[in-house]
Structures are given as C-alpha cells and as structure tokens.
C-alpha cells in the first residue's frame, strides 16, 4: 500500500544453514572457538576437497544454502600483513583458465591455487608476477569448481598466516597428514634436527591464530546472508507468479523441479492481484488465494531443494499486476537481483509475450524459464522460441525452455468441478480445506 513499508515475505521452507570446509584440523578447531556454523575437515589439497564433495551423503548439512572454504593462505601481495583475513572475490588461474567469481561476497581480494605450499619469498614474488593474485592456497580452484558443478553458492575466506616477504619453514609441508591433522612426532623430530625451528613455529603459530580468529568472524558473517542474497545469473531466484485460482499440487511439484534444474538458492511464489491479460478479477479474493498458496506450497507434497518464499507484493499493489512493476520493485529492494531472476511461465503464457506490458524491459530484468503446457509439445515451444528470438534479437531464447515434463492442469476445470460439489484430483488437503471453509467457487451453493 502507498505510504507503507513492503510486507515481508513468508518463508514457507527455510534454507538449510551454510556448511564450512576446513582443510586442516587446526583451522576447524580455531573456527569452532568463534564460529557457529557446521564444519567439516577435508584434509589438505585439491584432491581432498574433491573427495569431500564426492562424499556429500556424509555432510552434516545435506543441502547447504552456501558452502564456505575457510582456512589459512600465504600472502603474495606485499600489502597484506600476516593476521589479515578476507572473503575472496575470485579465484584466478595460474594456467590461463578463466577466473571463477565467488557468489557470496563482493571483494577485490583474489586467490590462486598452487600445487604445493609456496614457501619462499622468491616463489611468492614469481607467483604474484605471473598471476596477479593476492593470496595462494592449495584448494581454492578445486573447491570453486566442485561447488559450481553441484550448483551450490560458494565463498572462500582466507586468513594470512605468512606475508609475502616471509619464508615458511621448509619442513612445514611434512607436518600435516592426509586427514589434515598435525603430526606432533614429525614436529618434534624436525625440531630435534634443527632447534632454531622452534622460534619460527612460535611466530607462525601466533600469526595463524590471529588470522583464523579474523577469518572465522568473516565466515560467520557470510553465514548470516539470506538465501535470496545468494542468487546470481547462474544461480537464480525463481519467480513464480499467477492467479493460483486455485493452486494445484502440480504447481508445487513443478516449481520444485524447476528449482533443482536451475540450481536456484531461492524461489518466490507471488499470487497476482489482477492478471492484466485476463478479462475479469479472479473469482476468489486475494486473501483466499494467498491462503490457498500457503497451504499448497507448504504441504510437503513437493521436494523444494532450497528456500521457498510466499510474497504478497502484487496483492498489496493497486491495479493490474504487471510483471515489469514487480521486477522493478524486487530489483529496487535488492539491486543484485538484476539479471538474476528467472520467470517461471507456461508455454501458453510465453506465446503472448509481446502483449506483456513493457515486455522488452521485462526481459532486460529477468529471463523466462518456460514449461510446456498441453496442447503444446516440446517441439512446438522450441520452434516458437527460436522464431521469437530470431525476430526480436534474443539469441538465447532457445535456452529458456526447461527440460521438465509438460504441466497439464486447468484451474478453470477445477473450479467447474468444485461448483458441482466435486473435489478435483490434485488439490491438496490444505487447499481443499480453504475452499470448503470459505465456500469458494460455488462450493455448497447447491446444498
């Protein structure tokens, strides 16, 4: 309403918490002193990180809304002192591959994955000159690639254990076993061979503890991000609008399938107040349809892989529910959503796209995600999208079609059956309860 703050979305299914990955046992224990997120130890190196992702069934959180690689790194940039910690903006490549951009944090700090510990000041300077990276570790690229392949938003937080001018003890690479735990016997044996190592290890330990303390607070702060704030063009927010008059169980299962295919961190169900492309106001009131959506999408009959929200943004806005105005409002609230929204629509709706209000501006803000609705076939819809794209300059239009089964349902047929006193197949118990208690669609009128 004009002059009022926008209503907060209802969370119908909350996202699961983030999951922290620490290569070393020391890093895990340090994080547990300060952080509050679930954490696993992977062991050091790229192969260990890949193995941890392959063993996803053993994760304490099966569908984390965010995965965070947390631990120590060596500085390549001379401006970064030991004890410094930051979220990483991108993982740069030392072999010419493209940089990977973190999904969870805007940052200019970069990291490069090295095959082994970069110990000497000369080796750090050479790696800095070649890659322009700020930090070096042994897991970042593998972690980012695994998260991207799994369709999970990711972040990397690194604390600086050794600055660019400092050399690490040459023995240090042999202190840690494959599980990421420090072998005390190996440390003592190295000290026996070189007693001056004690002073170096004390200095390194002090810097590492400070770095992990700062890194732990940074990781915990990332864990507070809402699922919707993790959406990007490749991990989008799925916006599912419509009259939902009434909502059907297939609406819910199809949304869950679309979220999974698109690797969406969040989806939003948004009942329309007035559909501008329909001739009349829907028979059920806005509040009744909101209540039915709440019952339908929270019923547990569909498997939603991530967070699901119910929004009344369009119900609280006067006049027809134009998609352009909805997208404009969402992007105004969260600018990072520009280009990070997929509009879930049926093939019948997309065929009328050129009748949408300011449709070109709609497509500038969000990309459709199209589901086939009979009598259309997949071939029919693919042909239409190709022709539409060629005629209007949207080369990616073919990619709008989702690889999902056709969605066959009719709210009109459901309303007709209800008026006869019948319960249509596919209406959940909660939706049917709302219909009967509110006497919607003529239910009980003939009794």
Q: Please spell the DSSP secondary structure of 365-408, one letter per residue.
A: H-EEEEE--TT--HHHHHHHHHHHHHHHT-TTGGGGB-S-----
Query: Quick one: tokens of 397?
Result: 């239009």
Instruction: Give the C-alpha distances (Å, rounded to integers) separating 444 from 189, 287, 422.
Output: 86, 20, 10
CB 248 within 8 A of CB 44: no
pLDDT at 309 over 90: yes
Question: 439: exposed, middle or buried (C-beta count within 10 Å: 0-12, 13-18, 19+)?
Answer: exposed
Tell me which residue has tokens 């300060």.
34
CB 138 within 8 A of CB 73: no
pLDDT for the residue 1: 37
Max Cα–Cα distance, the chain, nearest Å: 96
DSSP assignment, residue 88?
Answer: -
Average pLDDT, integer, range 318-332: 91
pLDDT for the residue 447: 42
Average pLDDT, integer, range 17-30: 96
d(CA 434, CA 447): 18
CB 112 within 8 A of CB 128: no
At 385-442, the pLDDT tens digits run: 999 999 999 999 999 999 999 988 778 889 999 999 899 988 999 999 999 999 999 8
d(CA 308, CA 119): 47
CB 67 within 8 A of CB 60: no
pLDDT for the residue 412: 84
Q: What percent of the chain has pLDDT over 70?
A: 96
Give the predicted TM-score (pTM) of the model.
0.91
pLDDT at 274 over 90: no
pLDDT at 281 over 60: no
Least confident of 107-116, 279-288, 308-317: 279-288
d(CA 67, CA 149): 13
How high is the mean pLDDT of the chain?
92
Query: Quick one: tokens of 15?
Result: 């996202």
Answer positive or negative: Cα dihedral of 100, 104, 108, 109. Answer: negative
pLDDT for the residue 408: 80
At 206-253, the pLDDT tens digits run: 999 999 999 999 999 999 999 999 999 999 999 999 999 999 999 999
CB 18 within 8 A of CB 223: yes
Q: Angle, to 10 degrees, between the axis of helix 140-150 and the axis of helix 46-54?
A: 20
- pLDDT band of residue 172 (cuts 50, 70, 90) is confident
At 344-384, the pLDDT tens digits run: 999 999 999 999 999 999 999 999 999 999 999 999 999 99
Instruction: Give the C-alpha distances (Å, rounded to integers) separating 131 from 57, 89, 91, 161, 377.
Output: 36, 15, 10, 20, 50
Pairing of strands 307-310, 10-13: antiparallel
pLDDT for the residue 122: 96
pLDDT at 65 over 60: yes
Average pLDDT, integer, range 271-291: 79
pLDDT for the residue 5: 44
d(CA 398, CA 390): 10
Which domains, ranges and CATH numbers included, belong to the chain? Answer: 16-225 (3.40.50.1580), 230-442 (3.40.50.620)
* Continuous H helices in 223-315: 249-262, 286-297
């Amino acid at each position: 309403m004009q002059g009022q703050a926008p209503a907060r979305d209802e969370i119908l299914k909350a996202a699961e918490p983030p999951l922290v990955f620490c290569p070393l046992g020391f890093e895990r224990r340090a994080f547990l002193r300060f952080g509050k997120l679930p954490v696993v130890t992977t062991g050091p190196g790229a192969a260990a990180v890949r193995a941890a992702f392959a063993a996803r069934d053993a994760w304490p959180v099966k569908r984390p809304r965010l995965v965070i690689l947390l631990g120590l790194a060596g500085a390549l940039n001379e401006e970064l002192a030991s004890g410094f910690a930051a979220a990483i903006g991108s993982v740069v490549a030392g072999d010419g591959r493209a940089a990977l951009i973190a999904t969870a944090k805007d940052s200019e700090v970069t990291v490069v994955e090295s095959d082994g510990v970069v110990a000497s000041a000369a080796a750090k300077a050479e790696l800095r000159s070649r890659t322009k990276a700020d930090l070096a570790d042994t897991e970042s690229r593998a972690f980012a690639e695994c998260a991207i392949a799994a369709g999970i938003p990711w972040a990397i937080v690194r604390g600086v254990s050794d600055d660019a001018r400092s050399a690490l003890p040459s023995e240090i690479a042999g202190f840690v076993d494959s599980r990421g735990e420090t072998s005390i016997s190996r440390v003592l044996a190295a000290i026996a061979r070189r007693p001056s190592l004690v002073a170096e290890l004390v200095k390194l330990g002090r810097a590492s503890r400070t770095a992990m303390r700062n890194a732990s607070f940074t990781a915990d702060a990332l864990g507070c991000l809402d699922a919707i704030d993790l959406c990007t063009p490749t991990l989008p927010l799925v916006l599912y609008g419509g009259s939902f008059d009434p909502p059907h169980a297939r609406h819910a299962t199809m949304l869950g399938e679309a979220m999974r295919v698109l690797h969406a961190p969040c989806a939003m169900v948004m009942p329309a107040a007035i559909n501008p492309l329909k001739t009349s106001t829907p028979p059920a009131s806005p509040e009744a349809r909101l209540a039915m959506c709440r019952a339908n999408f929270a019923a547990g009959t569909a498997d939603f892989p991530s967070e699901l929200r119910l929004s009344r943004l369009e119900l609280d806005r006067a006049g027809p529910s134009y998609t352009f105005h909805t997208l404009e409002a969402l992007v105004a609230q969260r600018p990072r959503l520009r280009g990070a929204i997929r509009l879930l629509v049926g093939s019948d709706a997309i065929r009328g796209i050129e009748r949408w209000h300011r449709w070109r501006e709609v497509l500038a803000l969000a990309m459709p995600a199209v589901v086939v609705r009979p009598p259309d076939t997949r071939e029919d819809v693919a042909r239409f999208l190709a022709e539409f794209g060629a005629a209007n300059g949207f080369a990616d239009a073919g990619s709008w079609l989702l690889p999902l089964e056709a969605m066959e349902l009719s709210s009109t047929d459901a309303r007709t059956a209800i008026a006869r006193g019948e319960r249509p197949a596919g209406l959940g118990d909660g939706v049917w309860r709302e219909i009967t208690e509110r006497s919607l669609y003529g239910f009980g009128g003939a009794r």
